[in-house]
């Protein structure tokens, strides 16, 4: 069952979404060569606490994984796709690309968004990967309208990335969001137009293309959280939470 949010619920989502965007902006301001990822995590955690919210990922458990996720942010560098663990031993270097994923909970509702930032000057190849992944997200959002289907949304991502030679992460997907961080439906980054459930007004969705330069295969590191590309190629990840309306979707986490 996909939950439908009323105006009061959407107001709560907006409140959570604003804190998510504030946290992303704060991290953006602190990204530079030489900074370690735990420092970024602690800055975001403080902002979230000062806003009256709590981090959504910290303490998150997955059946079969012994250790809860320890960070406020998922920080994934270069070949890391998602769920990288912040650490004082991970220091950003000039030329890296770093995905920052933020989730918060406030007043019983969640917000979730991600952005892949360049660290200093990056290669043209990495520049192109970021651009295409971001375009995938914007295209997916542009088709996420009342009456469209999840297949339309996935197809918008796949049909933009694949012809340009990029791989799509197929094992991980976007998701519904609201009173739970992850709700139905799953939102794959591939699909057949017209297939899948039909989008209805009041659905709130976290759409998050994960795109890589290499082969479409990922694996999980020994820490049991960090997902990396199997061939060591680069990956990028952009995410926004939206609400389906009678018109253009409302972007709940409007980072730019
Ligand atoms: Mg998400």
Ordered by start, the domain boundaries in the chain are 7-251
- Could you tell me the distance, in angstroms and rounded to a whole number, from the CA of residue 113 to the centre of ligand 1? 6
Cβ–Cβ < 8 Å for 210, 82: yes
At the top level of CATH, the class of 7-251 is: alpha beta
| Region class of 147: left (phi > 0), else alpha (psi between -120 and 50), else beta | left
User: Tell me, what's the pLDDT at 227?
Assistant: 98
- Could you tell me the distance, in angstroms and rounded to a whole number, from the CA of residue 75 to the centre of ligand 1? 13
User: Tell me, what's the pLDDT at 105?
Assistant: 98
- Could you tell me the distance, in angstroms and rounded to a whole number, from the CA of residue 84 to the centre of ligand 1? 14
Low-confidence residues in the chain, pLDDT < 50: none
- Could you tell me the distance, in angstroms and rounded to a whole number, from the CA of residue 175 to the centre of ligand 1? 6
Cβ–Cβ < 8 Å for 167, 211: yes
Query: Rounded to two decimals, what is the model's pTM?
Result: 0.97
- Could you tell me the distance, in angstroms and rounded to a whole number, from the CA of residue 248 to the centre of ligand 1? 21
Please give the backbone phi and psi of residue 147, each rounded to the nearest 5 degrees, phi first.
Answer: 95, -20
- Could you tell me the distance, in angstroms and rounded to a whole number, from the CA of residue 254 to the centre of ligand 1? 15
Burial class (CB in 10 A: 0-12, 13-18, 19+), 88: exposed
- Could you tell me the distance, in angstroms and rounded to a whole number, from the CA of residue 249 to the centre of ligand 1? 17
Do the strands 97-106 and 174-176 form a parallel or antiparallel pair, or are they unpaired? unpaired
Q: What is the pLDDT of residues 104-121, one digit of tens each?
A: 999 999 999 999 999 999
User: Tell me, what's the pLDDT at 103?
Assistant: 98
Q: What is the pLDDT of residues 124-161, one digit of tens each?
A: 999 999 999 999 999 999 999 999 999 999 999 999 99
User: Tell me, what's the pLDDT at 1?
Assistant: 87
CA distance 236 to 131: 9
Which residues line ion ligand 1, judged by CB < 5 Å?
A: 112, 206
Cβ–Cβ < 8 Å for 204, 137: no
């Amino acid at each position: 069952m996909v939950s439908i949010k009323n105006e009061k619920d959407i107001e709560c989502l907006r409140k959570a979404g604003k804190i998510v965007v504030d946290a992303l902006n704060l991290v953006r301001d602190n990204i530079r060569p030489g900074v370690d990822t735990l420092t970024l995590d602690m800055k975001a955690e403080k902002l979230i606490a000062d806003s009256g919210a709590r981090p959504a990922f910290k303490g998150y458990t997955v059946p079969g994984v012994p250790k809860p996720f320890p960070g406020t942010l998922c920080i994934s560098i270069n070949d890391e796709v998602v769920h990288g663990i912040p650490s004082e031993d991970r220091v950003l270097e000039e030329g890296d690309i770093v995905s920052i994923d933020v989730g918060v909970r406030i007043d019983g509702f969640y917000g979730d968004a991600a952005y892949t930032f360049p660290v200093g000057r990056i290669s043209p190849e990495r520049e192109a990967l970021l651009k295409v992944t971001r375009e995938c997200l914007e295209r997916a959002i542009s088709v996420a309208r009342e009456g469209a289907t999840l297949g339309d949304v996935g197809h918008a991502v796949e049909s933009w990335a694949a012809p340009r030679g990029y791989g799509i992460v197929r094992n991980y997907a976007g998701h519904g969001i609201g009173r739970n961080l992850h709700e139905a439906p799953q939102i794959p980054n591939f699909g057949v137009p017209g297939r899948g459930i039909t989008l209805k007004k009041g659905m709130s969705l976290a759409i998050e293309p994960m795109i890589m330069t290499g082969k479409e295969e990922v694996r999980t590191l020994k820490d049991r959280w960090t997902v990396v590309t199997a061939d060591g190629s680069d990956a990028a990840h952009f995410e926004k939470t939206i609400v389906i309306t009678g018109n253009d979707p409302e972007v709940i986490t409007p980072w730019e």
